[in-house]
Amino acid sequence: MIFVYGTLRKGASNHFRLEGSRLRGEAWGLGHLYPIDWYPALLLDDDGIP
């Protein structure tokens, strides 16, 4: 299972890269994105998953 955001989301420019995959459901998380090298990392808050 993979959690995607940004351009991989449904309707976004790179969603085609997930062709053949199956949507299991939608999810939300509360936290902050931090730049790690060239890609952001998500750090969830203590209550980050509702």
What does the pLDDT average to over 18-42? 88
Residue 12 scores a pLDDT above 90 = yes
Buried b / exposed e over 6-27, threshold 16 CB at 10 Å, is: eeeeeeeeeeeeeeeeeeeeee
Mean pLDDT of the chain: 86
For residues 21 and 27, is the Cβ–Cβ distance under 8 A?
A: no
Two tokens at 41?
Answer: 């990392």
Residue 34 scores a pLDDT above 80 = yes
Residue 14 scores a pLDDT above 80 = yes
What is the model's pLDDT at position 18?
93
What does the pLDDT average to over 10-33? 90
What is the model's pLDDT at position 35?
92
